[in-house]
Chains A and B, each alone.
Chain A
Amino acid sequence: MRALAVERIREIAGTAIPIRGDNIDTDRIIPARFLKAVTFEHLEEHLFEDDRQQADARQPASHPLSNPAYFGAEIMLVNANFGCGSSREHAPQAIRRLGIRAVIGQSFSEIFFGNSVALGMPCPTASVETLQSLMEAVEKNPSTTLTIDLASMRVTAEGRAYDLSLPAGVRDAFLNGSWDATGLLLENPEDVLDVANRLPYVTGSW
């Protein structure tokens, strides 16, 4: 069995792209027709495809993803309940494959959050005021650099620091490189078998 490479994730610095709106579901992040494939390759090309086309039809390049000023962004800023709906990992995969390394939002759907952890893409939360300030700063000056520090749980922009929040266990996992859970789950096959053998529906002895 091959050992997993450990990647510690502490600091993420880069420019940011704001995607405004509450309850943005994974069907909007990656419409289902692009899930018709047996790999995750090239999903980033269709990130927010329908939202983008509709926004750009009203006003050219008005969707942030179509705006060259945000090209190369490494942090995404979102609002509440981001990634709700379908469990499709294709959504965080598409975001990660675009080059985004962290998403800061008011709140995330649980499944999206967990899928992102598995990809090594932290999704810390921040207050509505923080998101408002960060989005405004980035919209005013897209070359603003944000620096996320998971050790101090802060993000700094234009010399100002804002508080971030992550469950302690998740934060620690990023910091010590154990965010890919599979290795942990494979450490104790005998213990797993013990639990299985105590369950009547597994053993068949009711």
Chain B
Amino acid sequence: MASTLLQKVWDAHTVRRLPNGQAQLFIGLHLIHEVTSPQAFDMLRARGWSVAFPSRTIATVDHIVPTLDQRRPFVDLLAEEMLSSLERNCREHQIRLLDLASGHQGIVHVIGPELGLTQPGMTIACGDSHTSTHGAFGAIAFGIGTSQVRDVLASQCLAMDPLKVRRISLKGRLQPGVYAKDVILHIIRRLGVKGGAGFAYEYAGDTFDRMSMDERMTVCNMSIEGGARVGYVNPDETTFSYMRGRPFVPQGEEFERACDWWSSMASDPGAAYDDEVTLDAASIRPTVTWGINPGQSIAIDERIPSAADDEALAFMDFRSGQPLKGTRIDVAFVGSCTNSRLSDLREAARILRGHHVAPHVKALVVPGSQAVRAAAEREGLDRVFTEAGFEWRGAGCSMCLAMNPDRLEGRQICASSSNRNFKGRQGSPTGRTLLMSPAMVAAAAVAGEVVDVREFAAAGAGVGR
């Protein structure tokens, strides 16, 4: 019978049906970091349990690492304690830790794919809601809480409710200046921030077929902002050619056989879906959020809707009917697990060449991993950024969630390539976030205000695609 990828992966990993109706699901890859794991290790210790499959858990440090001065001990003693705790736990349980000295450190959702740890057909869990990113490879990947981190450590399993599947088909070509970020912001706007509850999103159609892995990761990353804990793209030649040669990927003949297995996990033609939505790619325009959740967005040439939520308007100090174009910004941030990969930096740099950041704007670019940073430096992107007035930082989560020194102050407005515009998200309880693509962030940094990257491009800089 024709099945979806979700069903195949689910079946291949189901140990049994639990008495409460949930599935006991084997977890193929468990990623951990310093924020949501220390309490889980304490729970293990308190119950006298050990780690069942230490080689199936990989750790890195991303949320709390400073991106300027990474010397140990960190200036922030709380951050130092968290990293020390992770180091101790990994040592005690023989878990591989990709730390600052490894050359492989970075945001957990950037390093998994780039090392080839993330593979099609896997189940992947991590104590971080943006684990949906890994679905770009045709894995079933989802965020979990700390008690579940404990469960995976102790048993390599999770008790999971079954998910329905909604296929979101996107057809047609994206316009110049429109990026994967605009696609997912558009989808969330259309389907709502809780529209995905109970569903896994399968992203399908020729637009996704043409997307690079980096672009697919950007889309899958923000599935959770649409309420879908899981988002995935079926594995194809683009997936396989990305994976070939990466450290944790099988080599040679084994690779060919692995491709066969990976292909076999893709959704079959004729598979039944619980819901289907079709969208037109050509109609998507550069999209920017105006409110306090990622569904509150407009296309750059639209105005804030008349029925806009009062709480959001009051917090943002915006009015219905107002355009976002022309909104003065204080900070520009290129980074986060959504948009900190090499192609994101390339697009931002393409906009910045020959320009300079407006004098009143603080601008920073934070590569998603040490490997991304090194690759960008080999291409000279670091010089493009610094010559344009951007600060070139070390890898980490940085200003996406402000558990480190990078944060907004007071009522600052930030043009941000990150994923959440929640109240207080970027570190100042009253700070304001406008989510947009890295190219739009770069253009806003130069103009000192929100602009339409398509017009900015017409004025001189080149726009990709």
Chain A residues with CB under 8 Å of chain B are 1-2, 4, 21, 23, 25, 27-28, 31-33, 35-40, 50-51, 53-54, 80-81, 84-90, 92, 107, 109-111, 114-115, 118-119, 167-170, 172-173, 178, 181-182, 184-186, 188-189, 191-192, 194-196, 198-202, 204, 206
Does residue B135 face the partner (Cβ distance < 8 Å to A)?
Answer: no
How many angstroms between the C-alpha atoms of A111 and B78 in the bound complex? 26
Q: Are A84 and B19 touching (Cβ within 8 A)?
A: no
Does residue B384 face the partner (Cβ distance < 8 Å to A)?
Answer: no
Q: Which of B47, B78, B423 lies in contact with A2, CB distance below 8 A?
A: B47
Does residue B318 face the partner (Cβ distance < 8 Å to A)?
Answer: no
How many angstroms between the C-alpha atoms of A186 and B49 in the bound complex? 10
Q: Are A169 and B20 touching (Cβ within 8 A)?
A: yes
B residues in contact with A114, CB < 8 Å: 144-145, 148, 161
Q: Which 8 A-B pairs have the closest CB atoms?
A: A169-B21, A89-B145, A115-B145, A169-B20, A118-B147, A50-B429, A87-B143, A206-B257
Q: Are B156 and A23 touching (Cβ within 8 A)?
A: no
Does residue B16 face the partner (Cβ distance < 8 Å to A)?
Answer: yes
Given contacts A111-B144, A118-B148, A167-B161, contact A185 B24 (CB under 8 A): yes
Shortest Cβ distance from residue A89 to the other chain B in the assembled complex, whole angstroms: 4
7 A-B pairs (CB sep. < 8 Å): A27-B423, A50-B423, A84-B227, A109-B227, A169-B18, A201-B258, A206-B258
Q: Are A178 and B20 touching (Cβ within 8 A)?
A: yes
Shortest Cβ distance from residue A23 to the other chain B in the assembled complex, whole angstroms: 5
Q: Which range holds the interface residue count of chain B? A: 35 or more
Does residue B38 face the partner (Cβ distance < 8 Å to A)?
Answer: yes
Interface residue ranges of B18-73 to A (CB < 8 Å)? 18-22, 24, 26, 28, 35-36, 38-39, 42, 47-49, 52-53, 56, 64
Shortest Cβ distance from residue A32 to the other chain B in the assembled complex, whole angstroms: 5
Does residue B154 face the partner (Cβ distance < 8 Å to A)?
Answer: yes
Q: Are B154 and A87 touching (Cβ within 8 A)?
A: no
Does residue B211 face the partner (Cβ distance < 8 Å to A)?
Answer: no
Cβ-closest chain B residue relative to A172? B20
Q: Are A81 and B21 touching (Cβ within 8 A)?
A: no
Interface residue ranges of B228-258 to A (CB < 8 Å)? 229, 250, 254, 257-258
Shortest Cβ distance from residue B35 to the other chain A in the assembled complex, whole angstroms: 6
How many angstroms between the C-alpha atoms of A178 and B20 in the bound complex? 8
B residues in contact with A89, CB < 8 Å: 36, 39, 127, 145-147
Q: Are A84 and B194 touching (Cβ within 8 A)?
A: yes
Q: Are B311 and A199 touching (Cβ within 8 A)?
A: no
Given contacts A80-B194, A89-B145, contact A36 B78 (CB under 8 A): yes
A residues in contact with B154, CB < 8 Å: 182, 185-186
How many angstroms between the C-alpha atoms of A31 and B391 in the bound complex? 26
How many angstroms between the C-alpha atoms of A38 and B250 in the bound complex? 37
Cβ-closest chain A residue relative to B423? A28
B residues in contact with A81, CB < 8 Å: 193-194, 197, 227
Q: Mark B3-17, 1 if CB is under 8 A from A, else 0.
A: 000000000111110
Q: Are A170 and B20 touching (Cβ within 8 A)?
A: yes
Q: Which of A23, A38, A191 lies in contact with B81, CB distance below 8 A?
A: A38
B residues in contact with A37, CB < 8 Å: 78, 82
Q: Which of B48, B198, B257 lies in contact with A1, CB distance below 8 A?
A: B48
Does residue B155 face the partner (Cβ distance < 8 Å to A)?
Answer: yes
Most chain-A Cβ atoms within 10 A of its Cβ — which of B28, B155, B161, B224?
B155
Does residue B273 face the partner (Cβ distance < 8 Å to A)?
Answer: no
Q: Which of A35, A36, A201 lies in contact with B122, CB distance below 8 A?
A: A201
B residues in contact with A182, CB < 8 Å: 47, 147, 150-151, 154-155
How many angstroms between the C-alpha atoms of A103 and B53 in the bound complex? 35
A residues in contact with B401, CB < 8 Å: 27, 32, 86
Does residue B427 face the partner (Cβ distance < 8 Å to A)?
Answer: yes
A residues in contact with B15, CB < 8 Å: 188, 191-192, 194-195
Given contacts A21-B311, A25-B293, contact A87 B155 (CB under 8 A): no
Given contacts A27-B425, A33-B427, A195-B13, contact A107 B82 (CB under 8 A): no
Q: Which of B157, B402, B422 lies in contact with A25, CB distance below 8 A?
A: B422
Given contacts A84-B227, A195-B14, contact A201 B422 (CB under 8 A): no
Q: Are A88 and B36 touching (Cβ within 8 A)?
A: yes
Cβ-closest chain B residue relative to A198? B12
Q: Are A184 and B159 touching (Cβ within 8 A)?
A: yes
Q: Are B156 and A192 touching (Cβ within 8 A)?
A: yes
How many angstroms between the C-alpha atoms of A35 and B36 in the bound complex? 9
How many angstroms between the C-alpha atoms of A51 and B423 in the bound complex? 9
Does residue B129 face the partner (Cβ distance < 8 Å to A)?
Answer: yes
B residues in contact with A4, CB < 8 Å: 47
Does residue B121 face the partner (Cβ distance < 8 Å to A)?
Answer: yes
Does residue B368 face the partner (Cβ distance < 8 Å to A)?
Answer: no
B residues in contact with A200, CB < 8 Å: 257-258, 261
Q: Which of A85, A185, A188 lies in contact with B422, CB distance below 8 A?
A: A85
Cβ-closest chain A residue relative to B250? A206
How many angstroms between the C-alpha atoms of A41 and B77 in the bound complex? 18
Interface residue ranges of B406-435 to A (CB < 8 Å)? 420, 422-425, 427, 429-430
